[in-house]
């Protein structure tokens, strides 16, 4: 799989070489091979960057993001959405590592033909990517960052302030997701004693904090607040600690790589309680790692379940036709598809009567800001902070190792 | 009280794993004064070797029969680890036998990174943690309210038995005597008719077999393995070896148990809880080294002429 990524990167880099030699107006002969139809690509090639974990524990999520962005780009090329230009995707692997993500952002931003970047997956990696792309006025649209501080700053509750005017996201944030989970777990599922565990990263801690605050407000007792390493495989210390406190459920802020084994070890230690997590654990790998122990575990995720919305049907059919079975769109595929389409749509508006140059970047940012379309997750539009106006969330429950949607709704605070 | 006992149980299980790996560090250091940082990855590769055997070699029909599957996996893990260690010794360490000590140390770090990345690239699905089979020893032994996982008990027993056997082997057998002689002075040992190269190879092999066995038992116990288990447990084991006195068999295993207990007890009772349990391990290490720089059971280092 890395090989494929490498090949794609080499191809993309090659394409860049051709164009960057002679500014962006050069002709790229045979540039419209994809689809084989006759789009006018006389003005050259523009690059859509992707930054996501394409190796490491979060590969399944990252590949879903990359493939879905690829699908959107290919469809745009076939439909000649951006007049005069051919679009190419340049996926970069960040290995969920902020430093690698920063390198990827620097690399993408050094190319004058990069119009925007789709990514990242992790909130922690976005923290390093945001300022780099912002410095070059490059649009970033994340399909998956859920930390509220990325758009509204540290004091997002009392004094929200837009952080970067180049940053947008199509998913809702943890200050809705955490409370949404707390409402479900405490009020609907009736769990009053809850142990909260988080993995110490921006996403996990943030989500756990939001959950904890709302769960307390709902009248639940937080019996323990623990922390595990994201690379841990042995959770016996934490489990031994929470077991005598007799929690009725565990809430975990983190991702499936640790959550799956954690759920299994909790049940093996004789604690028969469900684990609940956020969008980071919603992948079939969770069920594989946790085995039968995950039956009945819960999770929330952003948006409506992709296979339930009528608008999503077209996306899923096109995706399955294009990519092999083992590379599912995973939790964020439809989000990534929407994000890429928003970027391309805004780009098409920007370049309707103009040629691409650095001076177009300001216009592109404005056009993304005012973009409004129906996507695979419902409405795609951005508020004054760059957040999605679409605040839909869904509760999922594991049945036979697969996450099945239970209910979809909005946080009504 | 229940909580304390439960944490002691978990601590002993972790300590057993760490102790088994630490034996490899301490033996190799004792004989060639090399801190073999690749040893943690040998433990990891052993676990992956056993998983590969389970997935592709053992026929479907007998996968549920523990008395066939478990020994086969343990043997596979041990053999894979041993072969790997011998290849590494031959290609990476032997050419540097007479080089300054820093050269093989840096090489060991390089080998460690190479092994980890090799597994990540070439083992199917190893980019994420992989499920490890447990079917044959599921369940717990309940001692009142305290839960003792059967696999954990197996780990502790195997650690103690193997350590005892190893201690006897080194003290009583001919090869053991050769190992002790080579550790004391390879040149004089050679004059006495001992082949130091063969002895060193044997030391690497024994250490690797123990790490491979530890890898399989660790996988069975936690039912998940990932490419990161080598580094994490390797650091613990290295710390255990230093704590117990590097070069000492008994010290390594006792050091391992101390680390396991410190981690779980500190996570339970000390401020910061599980967020800071790693910190306390190294606090204990520093405290011991301040008062006994040679470790708990170590001898003061001999200065070589």
Interface residue of B145, B274, B277, B279 to substitute, partner A, most A CBs within 10 Å: B274
Shared domain for A226 and A139, answered yes or no, is no
* Backbone torsions φ then ψ of A397, nearest 5 degrees: -130, 140
Beta-strand pair A298-302/A275-277: parallel
Overall number of domains in chain A: 2
CA distance B99 to B91: 14
Question: Virtual CA dihedral for A38, A41, A46, A52, nearest 10 degrees?
Answer: 10
Instruction: Give yes or no for a contact between B255 and B34, defined as CB atoms under 8 angstroms apart.
Output: no
CA distance B272 to chain A (A): 9
CA distance B273 to chain A (A): 7
Per the domain annotation, does A385 fall within a domain?
Answer: no
Q: Do B10 and A237 touch (CB under 8 A)?
A: yes
CA distance A250 to A191: 10
Beta-strand pair B140-143/B146-149: antiparallel
3-state helix, strand, coil split of chain A in percent (to 5) is 45, 20, 35
CA distance A54 to A66: 8
Interface residue of A233, A245, A271 to substitute, partner B, most B CBs within 10 Å: A233
Interface residue of B121, B224, B256 to substitute, partner A, most A CBs within 10 Å: B224
Each residue of A94-110: pLDDT tens digit? 988 999 999 999 999 99
pLDDT of res. B167: 92
CA distance A89 to chain B (A): 23
Strand, helix or coil for residue A39 = coil
CA distance B10 to B221: 11
CA distance A94 to chain B (A): 13
CATH of the domain at A46: 3.40.50.2300
Mean pLDDT of B39-64: 91
Where is average pLDDT lowest: A25-39, A152-166, A312-326, B103-117?
A25-39
pLDDT of res. B300: 59
Shared domain for A62 and A131, answered yes or no, is yes
The complex's ipTM? 0.79
3-state helix, strand, coil split of chain B in percent (to 5) is 75, 5, 20
Q: Which residues pair with A402 in a beta bridge?
A: A399
Burial class (CB in 10 A: 0-12, 13-18, 19+), A57: buried
Is the confidence at residue B304, as pLDDT, over 50?
A: no
Each residue of A2-53: pLDDT tens digit? 555 555 554 444 444 444 443 443 344 444 444 455 688 888 899 999 999 9
Mean pLDDT of B170-194: 91
Instruction: Give yes or no for a contact between A264 and A257, defined as CB atoms under 8 angstroms apart.
Output: no
pLDDT of res. A130: 94
CA distance B192 to A158: 80
| Maximum alpha-carbon separation in chain B | 61
Q: What is B197-237 written as a DSSP string? A: HHHHHHHHHHHHHHHHHHHHHHHHHHSEE-TTHHHHHHHHH
Shared domain for A104 and A182, answered yes or no, is no
Burial class (CB in 10 A: 0-12, 13-18, 19+), B140: middle
Is the confidence at residue B38, as pLDDT, over 70?
A: yes
CA dihedral (B257, B258, B263, B266) positive or negative: positive
Shared domain for A101 and A143, answered yes or no, is yes
The region that residue A137 occupies, defined by phi over 0 for left and psi between -120 and 50 for alpha, beta otherwise, is left
Strand, helix or coil for residue A26 = coil
Per the domain annotation, does A130 fall within a domain?
Answer: yes
Mean pLDDT of A179-199: 94
Q: Do B275 and A244 touch (CB under 8 A)?
A: no
pLDDT of res. A412: 67
Per the domain annotation, does A123 fall within a domain?
Answer: yes
Per cent of chain B over pLDDT 90 is 63
A-chain residue closest to B278, CA distance: A229
Each residue of A54-81: pLDDT tens digit? 987 788 889 999 999 999 999 999 999 9
Per the domain annotation, does A151 fall within a domain?
Answer: yes
**Among A170, A182, A122, which residue's Cα sits nearest to residue A147?**
A122
Across chain B, mean pLDDT equals 90
Shared domain for A270 and A315, answered yes or no, is no
Is the confidence at residue B303, as pLDDT, over 60?
A: no
Burial class (CB in 10 A: 0-12, 13-18, 19+), B87: exposed
Across chain A, mean pLDDT equals 86
Is the confidence at residue B157, as pLDDT, over 70?
A: yes
Nearest beta carbon to residue B2 from set A1, A244, A261: A244
CA distance A195 to B48: 33
CA distance B264 to B236: 13
| Residues of chain A found within 8 Å of residue B147, distances taken between Cβ atoms | 269-270
Cα distances (Å, whole numbers) of residue B56 to B220, B221, B225: 17, 21, 17
Per cent of chain A over pLDDT 90 is 56
pLDDT of res. A20: 41
CA dihedral (A256, A151, A340, A48) positive or negative: negative
pLDDT of res. A8: 52
Is the confidence at residue B49, as pLDDT, over 60?
A: yes
Is the confidence at residue A250, as pLDDT, over 80?
A: yes
Shared domain for A242 and A352, answered yes or no, is no
Each residue of A360-392: pLDDT tens digit? 999 999 999 999 988 888 888 999 999 998 888
CA distance A286 to A293: 11
Q: Do B224 and A55 touch (CB under 8 A)?
A: no
**Among B27, B43, B2, B8, which residue's Cα sits nearest to residue B182?**
B27
Shared domain for A260 and A337, answered yes or no, is no
- On the question of a cis peptide bond just before residue B260, with omega within 30 degrees of 0, the verdict is no
Is A5 or A177 the better-scoring residue by pLDDT?
A: A177
Identity of the highest mean pLDDT range in A232-236, A304-308, B141-145 = A232-236
Residues of A with CB under 8 A from a CB of B: 1-2, 55-60, 200, 226-229, 231-234, 236-241, 243-244, 257, 260-261, 264-265, 268-270, 285, 288-289, 291
B93: DSSP letter: I
Per the domain annotation, does A387 fall within a domain?
Answer: no
Model-level pTM? Answer: 0.80
Query: Residues near A343 by Cβ (< 8 Å), separated by ≥ 6?
Result: A48, A115, A116, A118, A139, A141, A368
Q: What is A205-244 written as a DSSP string? A: HHHHHHHHHHHHHTT-EEEEEEE--TT----HHHHHHHGG
Strand, helix or coil for residue B295 = coil
CA distance A85 to chain B (A): 36
pLDDT range class, residue A219, cuts 50, 70, 90: very high
User: In B270-303, which residue ranges form alpha helices assigned H by DSSP?
Assistant: 277-291
Architecture of domain B2-291: Orthogonal Bundle (1.10)
Strand order in the sheet with A402-409: A221-227, A193-198, A249-253, A275-277, A298-302, A393-399, A402-409
Q: Do B129 and A233 touch (CB under 8 A)?
A: yes
| Residues of chain B found within 8 Å of residue A288, distances taken between Cβ atoms | 131
Domain that holds residue A363: 2-171+307-380
Shared domain for A399 and A254, answered yes or no, is yes
Shared domain for A15 and A151, answered yes or no, is yes
Q: How far apart are the first and last CA of chain A?
A: 44
Q: What is A142-201 written as a DSSP string? A: ESS---THHHH-TTTTTS-----TTEEESS--HHHHHHHHHIIIIIIS---EEEEEE-SS
b/e code B106-129 from CB counts within 10 Å (16+ = b): ebbeebbeebbeebbeebeebbbb
b/e code B147-169 from CB counts within 10 Å (16+ = b): bbbbbbbbbbebbeebbeebeee
Shared domain for A24 and A123, answered yes or no, is yes
The region that residue A278 occupies, defined by phi over 0 for left and psi between -120 and 50 for alpha, beta otherwise, is beta
Q: Do A240 and B7 touch (CB under 8 A)?
A: yes
pLDDT of res. A154: 87
Each residue of B223-272: pLDDT tens digit? 889 998 999 899 999 999 999 998 889 999 999 999 999 999 998 888 87
Shared domain for A166 and A178, answered yes or no, is no
| Residues of chain A found within 8 Å of residue B263, distances taken between Cβ atoms | 237
Is A256 or B298 the better-scoring residue by pLDDT?
A: A256
Shared domain for A178 and A314, answered yes or no, is no
pLDDT of res. B59: 87
Q: Do A240 and B223 touch (CB under 8 A)?
A: no
């Amino acid at each position: 799989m890395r090989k494929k990524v490498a090949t794609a990167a080499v191809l993309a880099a090659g394409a860049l070489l051709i164009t960057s030699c002679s500014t962006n107006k050069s002709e790229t002969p045979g540039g419209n091979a994809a689809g084989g139809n006759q789009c006018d690509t006389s003005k050259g090639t523009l690059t859509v960057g992707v930054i996501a974990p394409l190796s490491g524990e979060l590969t399944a999520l990252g590949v879903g993001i990359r493939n879905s962005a690829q699908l959107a780009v290919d469809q745009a090329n076939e439909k000649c959405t951006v007049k005069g230009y051919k679009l190419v995707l340049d996926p970069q692997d960040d290995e969920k590592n902020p430093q690698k993500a920063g390198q990827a952002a620097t690399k993408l931003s050094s190319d004058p033909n990069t119009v925007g970047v789709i990514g990242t997956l992790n909130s922690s990696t976005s923290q390093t990517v945001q300022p780099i792309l912002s410095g070059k006025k490059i649009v970033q649209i994340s399909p998956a960052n859920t930390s509220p501080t990325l758009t509204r700053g540290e004091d997002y509750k009392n004094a929200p302030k837009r952080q970067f005017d180049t940053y947008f996201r199509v998913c809702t944030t943890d200050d809705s997701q955490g409370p949404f989970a707390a409402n479900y777990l405490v009020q609907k599922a009736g769990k009053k004693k809850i142990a909260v565990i988080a993995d110490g990263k921006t996403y996990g801690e943030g989500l756990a904090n939001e959950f904890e605050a709302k769960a307390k407000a709902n009248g639940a007792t937080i019996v323990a607040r623990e922390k595990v390493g994201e690379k841990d495989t042995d959770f016996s210390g934490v489990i031994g600690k929470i077991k005598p406190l007799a929690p009725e459920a565990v809430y975990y802020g983190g991702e499936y790589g640790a959550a799956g084994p954690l759920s299994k070890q909790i049940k093996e230690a004789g604690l028969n309680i469900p684990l609940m997590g956020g969008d980071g654990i919603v992948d079939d790998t969770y069920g594989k790692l946790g085995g039968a122990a995950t039956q009945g575990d819960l999770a929330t995720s952003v948006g409506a379940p992709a296979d339930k919305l009528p608008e999503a049907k077209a996306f899923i059919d096109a995706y399955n036709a294009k990519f092999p079975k083992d590379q599912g769109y995973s939790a964020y595929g439809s989000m990534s598809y929407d994000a890429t389409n928003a970027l391309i749509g805004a780009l098409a508006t920007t370049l309707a009567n103009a040629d691409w140059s650095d001076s177009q970047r300001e216009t592109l940012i404005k056009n993304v800001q005012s973009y409004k379309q129906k996507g695979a997750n419902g409405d795609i539009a951005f508020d004054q902070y760059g957040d999605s106006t679409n605040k839909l969330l869904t509760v999922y429950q594991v049945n036979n190792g697969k996450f099945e949607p239970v209910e979809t709704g909005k946080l009504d605070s | 009280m229940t909580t304390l006992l439960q944490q002691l149980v978990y601590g002993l299980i972790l300590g057993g794993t760490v102790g088994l790996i630490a034996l490899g560090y301490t033996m190799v250091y004792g004989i060639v004064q090399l801190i073999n940082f690749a040893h943690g990855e040998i433990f990891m590769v052993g676990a992956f070797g056993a998983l590969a055997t389970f997935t592709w070699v053992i026929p479907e029909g007998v996968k549920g029969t523990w008395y066939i599957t478990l020994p086969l996996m343990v043997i596979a893990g041990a053999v894979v680890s041993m072969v790997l260690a011998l290849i590494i010794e031959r290609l990476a360490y032997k050419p540097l036998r007479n080089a300054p000590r820093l050269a093989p140390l840096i090489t060991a770090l390089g080998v460690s990174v190479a092994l980890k990345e090799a597994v990540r690239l070439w083992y199917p699905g190893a980019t994420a943690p992989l499920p490890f089979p447990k079917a044959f020893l599921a369940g717990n032994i309940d001692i009142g309210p305290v839960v003792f996982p059967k696999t954990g008990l197996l780990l502790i027993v195997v650690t103690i038995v193997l350590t005892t056997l190893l201690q006897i082997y080194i003290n009583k057998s001919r090869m053991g005597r050769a190992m002790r002689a080579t550790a004391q002075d390879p040149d004089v040992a050679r004059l006495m008719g001992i082949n130091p190269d063969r002895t060193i190879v044997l030391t690497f092999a024994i250490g690797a077999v123990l790490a491979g066995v530890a890898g399989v038992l660790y996988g069975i116990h936690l039912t998940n393995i990932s490419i990161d288990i080598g580094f994490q447990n390797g650091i613990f084991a290295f710390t255990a070896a230093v704590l117990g006195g590097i070069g000492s068999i008994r010290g390594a295993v006792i050091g391992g148990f101390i680390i396991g207990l410190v981690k779980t007890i500190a996570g339970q009772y000390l401020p910061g809880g599980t967020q800071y349990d790693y910190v306390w391990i190294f606090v204990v290490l520093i405290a011991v080294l301040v008062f006994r720089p040679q470790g708990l059971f170590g001898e003061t280092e001999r200065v070589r002429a």
